[in-house]
């Protein structure tokens, strides 16, 4: 069995992206949603610029279930408490946190279920990484962990294929995009940025769950954090392949779970029991080398605060939405 794992790892290292025949359309929620109901969740950030916390908690929940079969919504509130704000004293939970800082908190502190620490849209920083749930129940902070996180290399020769492979093999991913005021009014169709000369883009964090083509226009299928009343039941389509709103050139990230030793053995054993062949399961490693960069290479554009909006503009507040703040610091 040990030699089999080694052989699969070698297969991954030397297999190009041509090893996958990607479909014209794909929705991770349809592929895994029946066994992982958490993929169908749509978050609502309300009066707090917490889109990065909510989107990352969602992606970790999605991928944890896909990898283990356990559908557990993880707590964004826990991440809001555990982020190391000393790195950037000007940032507070509801007013702009870079995605890599949130992923750092996941790696360092692990995750707890949402039932333990439900989401609140109020500004708060303390207590830092509490030792108990809201009801006083103690928990093990390291019960749910990720080994590290990877990002899609925006300098890749085929960034679109790299993103597609990552989603197709392992599930949704987190992405930061530029948004303008017209994004508030999106309802249907394929969104394209409508930049006005006097507008500066806001930064927003969402989840990519798939892709497709509509009326001849390739698109990414994403979910927002503004509730189900916004967009198409909380989701939207955005043009694919042209770096629309910076979606393919920014920060696209995903959790990497422990696939070594007993953890890897348990994963493969589970796949065998479920009847998935080794050949198909081996493709789970197809794009690892192609699409994951070392953590040291992770960087963000310094001009951006990779969280959503400040609290001044809230025209959608009555519906649980957050308006875009176009005046970035």
Give catalytic residue positions. Answer: 51, 204, 224
Q: Is the dihedral of CA 128, 131, 134, 139 positive or negative?
A: positive
Q: What is the four-CA torsion angle of 289, 293, 295, 298, rounded to 10 degrees? A: -170
Of 314, 324, 175, 316, nearest to 240 by C-alpha is: 175
Pairing state between β 235-239 and 190-191? parallel
Cα–Cα–Cα angle for 136, 137, 143, rounded to 5 degrees:
135
Of 10, 100, 53, nearest to 293 by C-alpha is: 100
Residue 169 CB coordination number (10 Å): 16
Contacts of 15 (CB under 8 A, 6+ apart): 285, 286
Of 173, 171, 170, nearest to 151 by C-alpha is: 173
Cβ–Cβ < 8 Å for 79, 129: no
Of 92, 55, 95, 119, nearest to 312 by C-alpha is: 95
Peptide bond into 127 cis (omega under 30): yes
Cα 125 to Cα 77: distance, rounded to the nearest angstrom? 10
Contacts of 267 (CB under 8 A, 6+ apart): 67, 68, 259
């Amino acid at each position: 069995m040990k030699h089999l794992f080694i052989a699969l790892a070698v297969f991954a290292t030397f297999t190009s992206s041509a090893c996958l025949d990607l479909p014209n359309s794909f929705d991770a929620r349809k592929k895994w949603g029946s066994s992982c109901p958490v993929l169908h969740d749509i978050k609502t950030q309300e009066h707090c610029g917490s889109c990065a916390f909510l989107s990352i908690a969602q992606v970790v929940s999605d991928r944890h279930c896909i990898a283990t079969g356990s559908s557990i919504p993880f707590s964004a509130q826990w991440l809001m408490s555990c982020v190391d704000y000393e790195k950037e004293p000007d940032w507070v939970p509801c007013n702009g946190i870079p995605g890599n800082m949130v992923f750092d908190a996941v790696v360092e502190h692990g995750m707890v279920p949402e039932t333990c620490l439900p989401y609140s849209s109020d500004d708060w920083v303390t207590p830092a990484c509490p030792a108990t749930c809201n009801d006083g129940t103690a928990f093990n902070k390291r019960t749910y962990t990720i080994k590290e996180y990877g990002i899609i290399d925006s300098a890749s020769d085929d960034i679109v294929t790299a993103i597609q492979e990552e989603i197709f093999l392992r599930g949704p991913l987190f992405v930061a995009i530029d948004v303008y005021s017209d994004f508030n009014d999106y309802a249907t169709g394929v969104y394209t940025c409508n930049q006005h000369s006097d507008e500066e883009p806001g930064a927003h964090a969402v989840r990519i769950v798939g892709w497709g083509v509509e009326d001849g226009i390739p698109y990414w299928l994403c979910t927002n954090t503004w509730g189900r009343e916004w967009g198409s039941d909380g989701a939207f389509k955005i043009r694919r392949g042209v770096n629309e709103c910076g979606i393919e050139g920014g920060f696209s990230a995903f959790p990497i779970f422990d696939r070594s030793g007993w953890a890897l053995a348990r994963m493969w054993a589970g796949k065998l029991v479920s009847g998935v062949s080794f050949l198909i399961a081996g493709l789970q490693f197809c794009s690892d080398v192609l699409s994951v960069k070392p953590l040291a290479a992770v960087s963000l554009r310094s001009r951006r605060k990779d969280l959503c909006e400040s609290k001044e503009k809230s025209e959608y507040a009555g519906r649980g939405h957050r308006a875009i703040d176009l005046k970035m610091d």
